[in-house]
Copies of this chain bind each other. A is one copy, B any other.
Amino acid sequence: MCKITNSAISVNTYSSRLLEQCVNELARLPGIGRKTALRLALHMLKQEDIAVENLTGAISDMKSKINYCKICNNLSDGEICQICDNPKRDPGLVCVVSDIRDILAIEKTAQFGGVYHVLNGIISPIDGIGPGDLNIDPLVKRVANGGIREIIFALSSTIEGDTTSYYIFKKISQHNVSVSTIARGISVGDELEYADEVTLGRSIMNRMPYQSGLK
For A144-171 the 0/1 string (1 means CB < 8 A from B) is 0000011010000000000000000000
Chain B residues with CB under 8 Å of A54's CB are 25
Interchain CA distance A39-B64 in the complex, whole Å: 18
Structural contact, B59 and A2, CB atoms closer than 8 A: no
Copies in the assembly, this chain: 2
Give the size category of A's interface with B: 35 or more
Check B25 against A58 for contact (C-beta < 8 Å): yes
Partner-contacting stretch, out of A99-107, A123-131, A186-194, A197-205: A99-107
Contact of A136 with B by CB under 8 A: no
Show 24 residue pairs from A and B whose CB-CB distance is below 8 angstroms, ordered by the A residue. Answer: A1-B150, A2-B149, A3-B90, A4-B111, A6-B111, A8-B110, A10-B86, A11-B108, A14-B75, A15-B69, A16-B75, A16-B76, A16-B81, A18-B58, A18-B62, A18-B65, A18-B66, A19-B66, A22-B61, A22-B62, A26-B55, A38-B101, A44-B62, A49-B64
A100 to B41, CA, bound (A): 12
B110 touches A25 (CB 8 A): no
Q: How far is the CA of A131 from the CA of B81 in the complex (A)?
A: 56
**Contact across chains for A5 and B90 when beta carbons are under 8 A apart:** yes
Query: Does A134 sit at the interface, judged by CB under 8 A?
Result: no
Most buried by B among A2, A11, A54: A2
Residues of B within 8 A of A28 (CB): 51, 55
